[in-house]
Chain A
Amino acid sequence: MFGLAPALVRVDLTVDRGETLLIRGPNGAGKSTLLRVIATSLSPTYGGGTVLGFDVMAQREQIRRCTELLGHRTRLYEELTGEENLRFVCALHAADPRAIAPALERVGLTDVAGDRVRGYSQGMRQRLAVARIILRAPDLLLLDEPYAGLDAEAKEIVDDLIDEAKAKGRTVILATHDPTRGRNASRVVHMDGGRVVRAVGASG
C-alpha cells in the first residue's frame, strides 16, 4: 500500500533464471515498489511470491544472500571513504575484500577511493553503488533507474554489468525510463497504476 492507494495490484509475473527483464512505466507505476518487494525490502500487504525458489515472506535471508538492489538511494555512508563503504559491504555480505580494488578500478574511482563520500558528486556515488554490485556478483540483480545521474561512460559500465550478468546466467530485472537502455532485455513489461498492463517478448 502507498498511503491509502495500493502500490501494486494483482501483479502476476514470472521471471526465469538467466532472463533479463526490462520494466517500463511512468512515475508512480509501481516499478520501484515491485523491485523492493522482490528484494525483500518491502513486504506485500497481500499475496506473495518466490525469488530464486525462496519465499519472499518466510525466507528473506536466503533471498538477500543472492540479490542486490540498486535503487534511487545509494545507501552509502557519507563520513566513510569509498573504500570503507565497500569494506563494510564485504563484512556484512561475506564478500572478498580483495575484490574491492578491481571493483573500484572498473567504475573509475580508484583515485578517490580514500576520499570521504561526502565529497563525491551524485554520479560518483552512483558509480560506487555499482561497484557494490560488482563486488557481490549476485544471482539476481535488481536495477531501479540505475542510469540516473550517470555520465555516458558510467552508463556503459552499467550496460556491461548487465551483459556480463546475462552471459554468466544471472537474472537481471531492470526498471528504467531511459528508452536507449535495456538493449539486451529478453522481455519488456509495461506497468501503470501498480499493474502490469503489457508484456512484450516471451518468458523463457
Chain B
Amino acid sequence: MTGTLRHARAVAAKDLRIEVRGRYAVGSLLPFAGTVLIAFGLSLGPGRTLLQQTAPGLLWLAVLFASVLAFRRSYESEGEDGALEGLVLAPVDRASIFLGKAAAVIAELLVLEVLVWLMVVALFDLALRSPGVVAAAFVLGTIGLAAVGSLFGVLTESARAREAVFPLLVLPLATPILVAGVKATALATTGSAGQAVSWLGLLVAFDVVFVAAGTLVFGYLLED
C-alpha cells in the first residue's frame, strides 16, 4: 500500500505541476465558470430571491462543466508524444495511477470551486450560513466527480470521438452527485443545514462506490 500511495503521489504531483505550468484552470476553467454564472444571472433578472434560490444549482452546473474540461485536460497531457504508454508500461499498481490522477483533479477543482463560490457570493449576494456543510458538500462532490472523470478519461484518450464520448459517459454518472450537491448547498444557504446530512451521506456513498470501482477497474481500462 505504501508503494501505491507513493506512486499515486508522484502521478498527482506530475499532473499538478503540468497544470500549474499550463495555467489551464485559471486560463480556461475559471473564465468558463464565470461566464456561465454571469449569463444565467443576467437571464434570471435582478430579483434577489430568485437569484439566491437558483445560485446553488448554477454553482454546481458551472463546477460540473468545468470539471468535464478538467478531466479531458488531465488526459490530454498523457496523449502528448505517447506519454500514456509510459504509464501503461510502468510496473506500478494501476490503482495508484487512478488515485494520483483523481487527487490532482480534486486539488484543481477545489481551488476552482473556492473562486467560483466567491464569485457567486459577490454576484448573487448569497449568504453563507453553514460554511462547514457547504465545504463538506463540495469536497465530497468533488471526490465523486474526480473519481468518475479519472476513470473514464482514460477511455477517451484513445477514442476517436473524444469530444462526444466523454460527456456521454461522465454526465449521466455525475447526475446523482450534482443533485446531492445542489440540495446540500441549497439547504446550507437557507439555514436548514441539519437537513443536508442525508444528502451529504448520499455523496459519501457515491464517493465510496466510484473510488472503489475506479481502483478496481482502472487497470483493465488502461491496459486495453
Which residue of the partner chain, among A41, A72, A79, A92, contacts B21 with CB atoms under 8 Å? A79
Q: Mark B1-42, 1 if CB is under 8 A from A, else 0.
A: 000001100100010011001100000000000000000000
Q: Which residue of B lies closest to A116 (CB)?
A: B21
Contact, CB under 8 Å: B80 / A77: yes
Determine, out of A2-10, A63-71, A186-194, the stretch whose residues face the partner at the interface. A63-71
Q: Which residue of B lies closest to A84 (CB)?
A: B17
Q: Does B212 lie at the interface of the complex (its beta carbon under 8 Å from any beta carbon of A)?
A: no
Q: Does A105 lie at the interface of the complex (its beta carbon under 8 Å from any beta carbon of B)?
A: no
Q: Does A39 lie at the interface of the complex (its beta carbon under 8 Å from any beta carbon of B)?
A: yes
5 further A-B pairs in the complex, CB-CB below 8 A; given A80-B17, A92-B10, A93-B90: A73-B85, A75-B85, A76-B83, A84-B17, A93-B91
What is the CB-to-nearest-CB distance from B222 to chain A, in angstroms, rounded to a whole number?
Answer: 11
Docked Cα-Cα span, A69 to B82, in Å, equals: 12
| Contacts A76-B81, A77-B80, A91-B10 given; does A64 touch B17 at CB 8 Å | no
Q: Does B168 lie at the interface of the complex (its beta carbon under 8 Å from any beta carbon of A)?
A: no
Contact, CB under 8 Å: A74 / B7: no
Q: Which of A41, A62, A92 has the most CB of B within 10 A?
A: A92
Which residue of the partner chain, among B10, B22, B80, B91, contacts A65 with CB atoms under 8 Å? B91
Q: Does B92 lie at the interface of the complex (its beta carbon under 8 Å from any beta carbon of A)?
A: yes
Chain B residues closer than 8 Å to A125, beta-carbon distance: 81
What is the CB-to-nearest-CB distance from B26 to chain A, in angstroms, rounded to a whole number?
Answer: 14
What is the CB-to-nearest-CB distance from A133 to chain B, in angstroms, rounded to a whole number?
Answer: 13
Q: Does A178 lie at the interface of the complex (its beta carbon under 8 Å from any beta carbon of B)?
A: no
CB within 8 Å of B: which residues of A? Answer: 39-41, 43, 60-62, 64-65, 69, 71-80, 84, 88-89, 91-93, 116, 125
Docked Cα-Cα span, A89 to B85, in Å, equals: 12
Contact, CB under 8 Å: A64 / B89: yes
Main secondary structure of the interface of B (DSSP, over half): helix
Docked Cα-Cα span, A93 to B14, in Å, equals: 15
Which residue of the partner chain, among A64, A71, A84, A116, contacts B90 with CB atoms under 8 Å? A64
Task: Report the interface size class on chain B.
Answer: 20 to 34
Contact, CB under 8 Å: B81 / A74: yes
Contact, CB under 8 Å: B14 / A75: no
Q: Mark B52-96, 1 if CB is under 8 A from A, else 0.
A: 000000000000000000000000010011110111111110000
Docked Cα-Cα span, A80 to B14, in Å, equals: 8
Could you jot down 24 A-B contacts, CB within 8 Å?
A40-B89, A41-B88, A43-B223, A43-B224, A60-B223, A62-B91, A64-B89, A64-B90, A73-B85, A75-B82, A75-B85, A75-B86, A78-B77, A78-B80, A79-B18, A80-B14, A84-B14, A91-B6, A91-B10, A92-B87, A92-B90, A92-B92, A116-B21, A125-B81
What is the CB-to-nearest-CB distance from A45 to chain B, in angstroms, rounded to a whole number?
Answer: 12
Chain B residues closer than 8 Å to A89, beta-carbon distance: 86
Q: Mark B85-116, 1 if CB is under 8 A from A, else 0.
A: 11111111000000000000000000000000
Nearest 6 interchain pairs by C-beta: A73-B82, A91-B10, A75-B86, A92-B90, A64-B91, A79-B21
Contact, CB under 8 Å: B81 / A75: yes
Contact, CB under 8 Å: B21 / A91: no
Q: Which of B18, B82, B86 has the most CB of A within 10 A?
A: B86
What is the CB-to-nearest-CB distance from A145 to chain B, in angstroms, rounded to a whole number?
Answer: 14
Q: Which of B6, B22, B90 has the most CB of A within 10 A?
A: B90
